[in-house]
Structure 1
Amino acid sequence: MKLLGRRAECAHLDALFKTMRDGGSDVLLLSGEAGIGKTALLDYAVRAAADLRILRTSGVESEMDLPYAALHRLCLPLLDGVDHLPAPQAEALATVFGTRAGETPGPFLVGLGVLNLLAEAARGGPLLCAVDDAHWLDDASAQAIAFVARRLRAESILMLITSRGPIPSMRGLAEFGVEGLAPTAAGELLDSVVRWPLDDGVRAAILAEARGNPLALLELPLASPDRLAGGFGLLEATALTGRIEESFQRRISELPADSQELLLLAAAESAGDPVLIWRAAAVLGLSPEAGGACQDAELLTIGVRFAFRHPLVRSAVYHAASPDARRRVHRVLAEATSREADPDRRAWHLAQAAEKQDEAVAAELEASADRAQSRGGLAAAAAFLERAAALTPDPVRRAERELLAARDKYHAGAPEGAQILLDKVESGPPDELRSAHVRQLRGHLAFVTGGAVRAPSLLLEAARRFEGLDPVLARETYLDAIIYSLRTGRFAEGVTVTEVARAAVAAPVPSSPPRARDVLLDAFAVLYTDGHVKGVPLVRQALEGFTLEGLSVTQATRWLSLACYGAFATWDDVAWEKLSQENVRHIRETGALGMLPVAHSQRMLAHLHAGQYQAAADLLEESDAIVAAIGVDRPAYDVAAVAAWRGQDEQATELLRIAENAAAERRDGNGFTFVKYAFAVMYNGLGRFAEAREAALAAAASPTGSAFAFWALSELVEAALRCGDRAQAEQAMEQLSTTTAPSATDWGLGTEARARALLSDGAEAEAHYREAIDRLGRSRGVVDLARTHLLYGEWLRRQDRTADAQEQLSTAHTRFVQIGAEAYADRARRELAACGIAVAGPTAQKTLELTEQERQIARRARDGRSNTEIGVELFLSARTVEWHLRKVFSKLGISSRRELRTVLP
């Protein structure tokens, strides 16, 4: 059955159904004002899918603080299939749906689990997912549903969503704005409900005021037909939604008192559970007859659940009731709700029923917050705690709960709300420990709200306050202060990493035996106060013994990133390789995928160091998939770095300039230093030594002792010498050796030997070159080794040892071509030409007509990953991976995964 005046909208939905029935997937967000007809279109779609499997859910305003409530209703018919998912996804869904106790899962692991759950359900035939009133979804459900919607490709799933306004987590989904009915259709709808004589002027006024809104056209004439019939007393112009709600309120007021109370009871119990509502109704002395009048008035239907005709009816009922009446029904609903089966809903009703502060209710809300947190519902936990704090009579206990709520809001990505709660904590009773916690949290908040340069000083202050109160927390906070001071680097205000390190050196002695994080703190404190000679052995000890035991996901990721930094700051590429792998693996396993782009950046640098440029590019593609799926930030310099190492001059220069500006704007000193270092690497490869020298000088000038500043010294030695500034090169050499000599690693000592060779002559230079090649050959530094062969070959050519030069230059050229270092390969080619050896330029590879996503999938399939494993990495369902692979095989003219090894680079 077509809808009046909605031919175009129905045709659009019909086209989506054809795509789904043909094996494709699609998603559409129907947006528009209240009453415009979004739910009617959704109902049309449900009728059109009568022969298909249908899953429905809707947002409920009063459930917005219950994590995964709407998602649970959507997936309820499929829960038997949860155990058939990959174990991490099954565990995540079982935990958030409360069927199994477990550690808080990452929201993106939940999203991937739902994606595969729906995809498997669709194997038996097309599947329609209908999500109504998405503007009232709880945050956790909205994020998971949006994640799934973005990843649908070829599962035979159609997802239709309705919303009154924009939803941040769903930004970018295909959207269809539902407009008002055209004048002719609006007139027909109005005439269908007005069955009495109506003055033409009044009719025109109603049509003008309704602006084609179907619900307004149905409700406004029923508000006071006697006045409309005479054409007098039209209500003053107000917001249309308000007018419709007023119309409902008038109709409600005409019902018997017991029917009005039943409506209020149903409005206060969002789940619409008839067993619970009738149990509460009995306490209030309400009989089933009270529901008859509600249904006769077409305000409510009572069946398997109590369902209001429109969300505005619920709103009209609830807001028209007096505060006393609302509290009374909430109190009765709390008494009727099982403490064992649904303690969180009971606690919420008790909170709404409270007339004054009540510690017993506050304690129940705090327990609900704990349960919400264990399911990954940090936003819900914060809401429970905030309400608990408001009901807490004791000022000290209230401040403690406000602090806990602020912490959960911070972790839930609501920094503004966290700041407001911290203001309340500070206005409460004074307490040294609580004050230190506030400073600590303000430091973390500063880093994510545009005040990153203040974060180190705030954390340093907090750490000092913790020293006499909680030594363990003091040491952890010092460690975080070091992390933030290294990140802000040259842009830090008020405190540098050296100052933080000095304070940390004097911190309380760690527990016995010291934990891995204690050793890490001591190592960095000494490294940045006493230098590499004393610091390197401690850093090495910390890296060898670093474990993730006893750490939260956030702590593990942050401190593991610092451990990676310690590895490459001390020229330990073996530990760097191990720790960067461990960081990515840990994040994948815990599902905290929002942290993966940053971990990818460290891993990407390890790939670049090892000459694995394609692997680095693959990581960036995966980061792109994460950014597209969940909208998290990523380091601005990572794409630029790959282009710079490849020597792609124009592209890399543009990307590096963008990254440089972004780092300066965000006060990311470490990122800024890296960009300058990347410029130096690229310019040295291109033979633009004056520009390389300028960039290396800027990188090496970092006052915080950035690892990238250490690396830049090696570039500065080469660039300064080529510019004729030997004094500057010697000074850079001296600075470089203060970090490389104590490292005692092949990478560090090999880099130093190469720099000394550049500054030496005769046999001494040759000895240094050979030492560098020997040492770098044992390291993971494939690019540094190739560059050493190039420099050695250039030196040999200047010594007129052409045959020896050809050997070194050929080795360098071959390796540069293999890894894709275009600029350095060109430089080696020019040197070989000067030796009389002609080397052909790069030949264009046959272009594979694959999309970017098809290339990502094909490479992973080539490397032996299963469809499920590829789906986990790229946030796709296994069925979508299967569909893409069929297209890949067709385009490449192959029929098996084995053949991918021969056709893909």
Structure 2
Amino acid sequence: MVEQRRRGTPHGDSTGLLGRSSECALLDQTLAAVRMGESRVLVVHGPAGVGKSALLEYAEQSAAGMWVLRAAGVESEMELAFATLHQLCAPLLDRLDRLPAPQRDALETVFGTRAGAPPERFLVGLAVLSLLSDASERRPLLCVVDDAQWMDRASAQVLGFVARRLLAESVALVFGSRQRDRDLFGLPELEVTGLKAADAHALLDSVTHARIDQRVRDRFVAETRGNPLALLELPGELTVTQRAGGFGLLHADTLSGRIEQSFLARIAALPEQTRLLLLIAAAEPTGDPALVWRAAERLGAEPATVLAGGTDGLLEFDARVIFRHPLVRSAVYGSAKDDDRRAVHLALAEVTDAQADPDRRAWHLASATAVPDEAVAAELERSADRAQARGGLAAAAAFLQRSVALTIDTSRRAERALSAADTSLRAGDIEAAGRFVDLADRDVQNDWQRVRAHLVRSHMVFSAGFNNEAPPMLLAAAQRLEPYDMDLARETYLIAWASASYGAANRDSLMAISRAMRSVPPPDGSTRALDLVFEGYALLITEGRRAALPALRRAVTALAEAPVQDIMGWIWAAGGSSALLWEDRLMAEWPIRVIEEVRRLGALTALPIYLHGLGLPRVLSGDFATAAAIAAECEAVAAATGVPMTRHTTLMLRALEGKEAEAATLIATTIEEDGASGQLNGVASAHWAAAVLYNGLARYEEALPSAQATTQSANQLVSQWALPELVEAAARVGDDLAAHGALDDLADSAEPCDTDWAQGILARCRALLSNDAGADELYREAIKRLGRTLLRPELARAHLLYGEWLRRGRRRAEARVHLRTAYEMFVSIGMEAFAERARRELLATGETVRKRRNEDAAGEELTAQERQIALLVRDGLSNPEVGARLFLSPRTVEWHLRKIFAKLGISSRRQLGDALSGGGAESAG
């Protein structure tokens, strides 16, 4: 570590760190804020030797009265998931029983103290957030992570997650890193640069006692760029003559390379056994002195002999083995001969407990192996399962990838390469998946392996987003899978179907996939959800809705009864089954059960899909407060996991709210961004929202093209739901051909489904295009039918259309009844554009009506997140439960509640029910 200390010198400062007064002041401010109950995060970054570690040490020494936790990334341990996190959290593990059970189980699993399925990475992050928050309740907490550039990816992701969610906890999280890490990008940062000239000269004076020419001094300071470690270390390798005359100064080598060379010179001067000890310590990342000494003794190095002459200050033995600087570790390890490195790793493997730490033992064995070795490859393969439980898919992929490299038998190598490719893909590393599927293709021995390689490639294309390439590739993969694994083939067919329906593919592609599905021999009398969804989707496209209805109805029943774990891999593709049947209650209910299981399992990356499935029915039912809360949670999950968020719920919410500026901006952004990336499902949803928005604003000429664009989509649901918008817009602009064509398509979709939703919408649209004699009865039927559904906006629109029709027929008294009903419903729901349209119609009947907003809606001043917290607390969730739902600590939830109470003018949780009761919010979902 670079001290840079110059106490009592003319160039020193009150911090004791030469030339670092501003940096130390920022650290002082950070600690002061934490002592006041706030959270702070800081990424201290700069090149090697610039003094980051000294600043982190200053923060630790200044943290009087605080609890200090420390960890450091180690280059050789970057593939071992959660290694850095375990260092940081080890002192807190006795507090795990204070966490909610899912979070406690997640941490115990990744730290290897219990067996279990691999937890979702972001459930681990939430658990660490809760753990740090809990620990900070006793006294403020400072967490220091040095050499963050060498953190394993799992630890980096989790700590980045935690850093972005610290708010009202007394926690400081300070990282030291050579560069800005992608998982820490966007966090508050402090760039550390070289010392100013005066301070650099003072530091150089402290280590050079002979006289040096001023021009030589200036050149040395300039070429080191004021790097403190260079100023301290490099003069020592020059002779007095070289220093005085300017010979031997820096050349074209990189500064860090030159500093490392200075360490190498010191290492080379040490006795052989001492150099061996340094190499063992460099290869053993945990810094366990007992382990280092056992490995040294196995290699014939006796402690008394090794330490007799010291280590020239390069290595210290205390509670942990500590190198003077990370560059010493890299210099030792990088300069060693390959045979020496392998011997050291073998010794470490032999002294590592195979029961307590089998994965690290396997990793040492792999590093000790120069040629393919089946025994070691098999051990790595076995470790992959354990690694997945502890560190997730990325950790498993690392072991499998190394296993492939040590396999000599081509058949086994192909099998392991396929596993490595599949695991890498599921871990999100598409580039690695491509490399290993290429290796598998080279070594495949049979058609089954070729089929699986093709499946991996198909999913690689699909993982890049809905696009035109994925559906045909998935279709081909499904067809090739049939002789080997029919269930996997059917799942792949379903994903291909969904890819074509929801993505950029056109209807011809969807038809080709559906015909291929029809050619698959049906299982006799199967009642499995997979088989019924498969049959229903295939019939829907090839034979039409009437033919598909029986299978779809049975599928919806089977999906409701099937264990969620059994259908989790493809339920997202089948989630539209109830909506295809126009079953509003089933559509609102099915996501709830899946979301409960997703939360229980901690499978947060899948959560946005199901939150959308929950949020859109809430919008369509007029429960805007709950829909907004669900959309806010969807945004929180997407931000936490990095999974792209679907905007369907927010698009329709903004369209029905009728706030043109806000809605139009979101619609235009979605069309531009999703169109550029080929995500035509998002484009279709945006056009649907535009059609609703402009129908509400009574600008039918603008609603018409948007509705027409939506109905051309391959997405069965969006195109189905846009048909009523097309009928209304076309009818209002006098385009009879378009209006009647849309009505015929709507009848094909809705007539076979004897539900109040289907028949109510169909009756309302038929009334729009009917003569005077038939319209009256049809409007009444629409109101009666829709009144039995959850769909309050659709019912209100039926009253509006009926009232408009009655007014045009000069039946003003009757018109006022329905227009007033529509106006009151629109206002209570929060549909501003439709409410204004109804108000204008009322004025046209001669009635005086005051323009007003939803005066009863609670929480108008609340932000989306505050509203969501208020709803969850009102529904009886505790602060820890709310925090678990929204990726916040309980103390942050309490901080938000204080703001919510102030805005609503209440003082307790019990009062939230009354304060929010006017908004029509049923539940926070």
**1:724 aligns to what?**
734
Residue in structure 1 matching 2:174, options 154, 157, 160 = 160
Aligned-partner Cα distance in 2 for 1:41–1:604: 48
Letter paired with 1:532: R
Q: Could you list the runs of 5+ residues in structure 1 that have no partner in the other structure?
A: none
Map residues 7-46 of structure 1 onto 2, 5 A cutoff: 7-46=21-60
The equivalent residue for 1:865 is: 877
Q: Does 1:536 align with 2:546?
A: no
Please say if 1:760 is aligned against 2:770. Answer: yes
Cα offset, 1:252, TM superposition:
0.5
The DSSP-based 3-state class of the residue aligned with 1:742 is: coil
- Aligned position for 2:923: none
Deviation string 1:833-888 (CA, Å, 9 cap, x unpaired) is 11111211124869966555444433433343221122112211101111222233
User: Is 1:655 matched up with 2:666?
Assistant: yes
Name 1:431's counterpart in structure 2.
446
Structure 2 counterpart of 1:626, from 637, 644, 648: 637
In structure 2, what is the Cα distance between the partners aligned to 1:884 and 1:567? 37
Give matches, 1:677-826, under 5 Å: 677-702=688-713, 704=714, 706-826=716-836
Matches of 2:110 and 2:799, distance apart in 1: 56
Matched, 1:838 2:851: no
Q: Does 1:484 align with 2:496?
A: no
Residue 548 (structure 1) shift: 8.5
Q: 1:344 to 1:547 in 2, by over 3 A?
A: farther
Match of 1:89 in 2: 103
Name the counterpart of 2:907: 895
Rounded to whole Å, the distance in 2 between the matches of 1:441 and 1:466 is 12
Partner of 1:237: 252
Q: 1:309 to 1:459 in 2, by over 3 A?
A: same
For the pair 1:378 / 2:422, whether they are aligned, the reply is: no
Deviation at 1:190, TM superposition (A): 1.4
Matched, 1:206 2:206: no
Contact kept? 1:133, 1:162, Cα under 8 Å: yes
Structure 1 window deviating more from structure 2 (426-435 vs 687-696): it is 426-435
Distance 2:864 2:801 in 1: 37
Indicate conservation of the 8 Å contact 1:24/1:154, yes or no.
Answer: yes
Q: Determine which of 876, 881, 890 is the counterpart of 2:888.
A: 876
Kindly provide the amino acid, as one letter, of the partner of residue 673 in structure 2.
Answer: A
Query: How far does the alpha carbon of each residue in 1:147-175 deviate from its partner, in whole angstroms, 9 at most, with x for none?
Result: 11111112111111111112112111111
Question: How far apart in 2 are the matches of 1:870 and 1:53?
Answer: 27
1:607 CA displacement:
1.0
Residue number in structure 1 paired with 2:144: 130
Against the structure 1 CA distance between its residues 783 and 558, is the aligned structure 2 distance closer, same or farther, given a 3 Å change threshold?
farther
Q: Measured at CA, do residues 850 and 741 of structure 1 come closer, stay the same or move farther in structure 2, by a change above 3 Å?
A: closer
What is aligned with 1:502?
Answer: 515
Gap change, CA 1:97 and 1:668, over 3 Å in 2: same
Measured in 2, the distance between the counterparts of 1:127 and 1:50 equals: 11
Q: Which residue of 2 aligns with 1:78?
A: 92
Contact 1:220 1:247 in 2 (8 A): yes
Name the counterpart of 2:3: none
Contact map agreement 2:71 2:84 (CA 8 A) in 1: yes
Looking at structure 1, the residues matched to 184 and 333 of structure 2 have their Cα atoms a distance apart, in angstroms, of 29
**Deviations, residues 157-203 of structure 1 (Å, cap 9, x unaligned):** 11111111121121111111111111111111111122333333332
Does the CA-based 8 Å contact 2:260-2:328 persist in structure 1? yes
Name stretches of at least 5 consecutive residues in structure 2 with no aligned partner: 1-14, 920-925
Aligned twin of 2:330: 315
The aligned residue for residue 5 of structure 2 is none
| Partner Cα distance (1:758, 1:99) in 2 | 67
Q: 1:293 to 1:742 in 2, by over 3 A?
A: farther
Distance 1:247 1:511 in 2: 76
Distance in 2 of aligned mates of 1:516 and 1:853: 36
Who is 1:829 aligned against? 839
Cα distance change of structure 1 residues 551 and 503 upon mapping to structure 2, 3 Å threshold? farther
Residue of structure 2 in register with 1:273 after alignment:
288
Whether contact under 8 Å (2:626, 2:868) holds in the other structure is: no
CA drift at 1:626 = 2.6
Query: Cα 1:451–1:801, aligned 2, differ >3 Å: closer, same or farther?
Result: closer
Shift of 1:892: 4.4
- Taking a change above 3 Å as real, the CA distance of residues 447 and 198 of structure 1, as seen in their structure-2 partners, is same
In the TM superposition, 1:583-602 aligns within 5 A as 583-602=594-613
User: For the Cα contact (< 8 Å) 2:629–2:865, is it kept in 1?
Assistant: no
TM-score, length-scaled by structure 2: 0.94
Q: What residue is the counterpart of 2:650 in the other structure? A: 639
C-alpha offsets along residues 616-642 of structure 1, whole Å, 9 cap, x if unaligned?
Answer: 111122223233434332124543322
Would the aligned equivalents of 2:282 and 2:330 in 1 still touch at CA under 8 Å? yes
The 8 Å contact of residues 673 and 708 in structure 1, kept in 2 or not, is answered as: yes
Q: 1:293 to 1:756 in 2, by over 3 A?
A: farther
Amino acid at match of 1:838: T
| 1:689 Cα deviation from its structure 2 partner | 1.2
Q: Is the 8 A contact 1:560 1:579 kept in 2?
A: no
Cα distance in 2 for partners of 1:40, 1:295 equals: 24
> Structure 1 residue 98 and structure 2 residue 128: aligned?
no
Asked whether the 8 Å contact 1:255–1:293 carries over to 2, the reply is: no
Alpha-carbon deviation of 1:66? 1.0
Matches of 1:892 and 1:646 in 2, distance apart? 22
- 1:435 Cα deviation from its structure 2 partner: 1.6
Q: Does the residue aligned with 1:667 lie in a helix, a strand or coil?
A: coil
Q: What does residue range 172-191 of structure 1 map to in structure 2 within 5 Å?
A: 172-191=186-205
819-828 or 165-174, larger mean C-alpha shift: 165-174
Cα shift at 1:286: 0.5
The partner residue of 1:63 within 77, 88, 110 is: 77
Q: Is the 8 A contact 2:42 2:173 kept in 1?
A: yes
| In 2, Cα distance between equivalents of 1:328 and 1:599 | 52
Give the direction of change, closer, same or farther, for the CA distance of 1:294–1:421 in structure 2 (3 Å limit). Answer: farther
Query: In structure 1, what is the equivalent of residue 340 of structure 2?
Result: 325
Decide whether the 8 Å contact of 2:448 with 2:484 is kept in 1.
yes
Structure 2 equivalent of residue 563 of structure 1:
574
Contact kept, 8 Å, 2:238 with 2:248, in 1: the verdict is no
For residues 905 and 748 of structure 2, what CA distance do their matches in structure 1 show?
Answer: 57
d(CA) in 2 for partners of 1:61 and 1:294?
A: 28
Aligned to 2:922: none
Contact 1:22 1:156 in 2 (8 A): yes
SS where residue 768 of structure 1 aligns?
A: helix
Moved more, 315-324 or 582-591: 582-591
| CA contact 1:295–1:301 (8 Å) conserved in 2 | no
The change in CA–CA distance for 1:6 and 1:795 in structure 2 (over 3 A counts) is same
Are 1:447 and 1:453, in contact at CA under 8 Å, matched by a contact in 2? no
Q: Distance in 2 between matches of 1:512 and 1:317?
A: 68
Cα deviation, residue 340, structure 1: 1.2
How far apart are the structure 2 equivalents of 1:850 and 1:768? Answer: 42
Counterpart contact for 1:119–1:155, Cα < 8 Å: yes
Q: Which amino acid aligns with 2:547?
A: K
Larger deviation: 761-770 or 133-142? 761-770
Which whole-Å CA distance do the structure 2 matches of 1:239 and 1:842 have between them?
Answer: 70
Match of 2:436 in 1: 421
Total equivalences in the alignment: 900
User: Structure 2 CA distance, aligned partners of 1:549 and 1:63?
Assistant: 42
* Equivalent residue letter for 2:100: P
The alignment partner of 1:286 has SS state of: coil
Distance of 2:567 and 2:201 partners within structure 1: 64
**Conserved? CA contact 1:23–1:154, under 8 Å:** yes
- SS of the residue corresponding to residue 10 of structure 1 reads helix
CA 1:735/1:898 → structure 2, altered by over 3 Å: closer, same or farther?
Answer: same
Identity %: 48
Return the offset for 1:564.
2.3
What is the match of residue 263 of structure 1?
278
Q: TM (normalized to structure 1)? A: 0.96
Could you give the per-residue CA deviations for residues 457-485 of structure 1, whole angstroms, max 9, x where no partner exists?
11111111111122221111111111211
Deviation at 1:902, TM superposition (A): 4.0
Distance 1:147 1:330 in 2: 34
Whole-Å separation in 2 of the counterparts to 1:264 and 1:381: 27
For 1:378-417, what aligned pairs fall within 5 Å after superposition?
Answer: 378-417=393-432
Q: Give the distance between the partners of 2:715 and 2:91, measured in 1 at CA.
A: 57
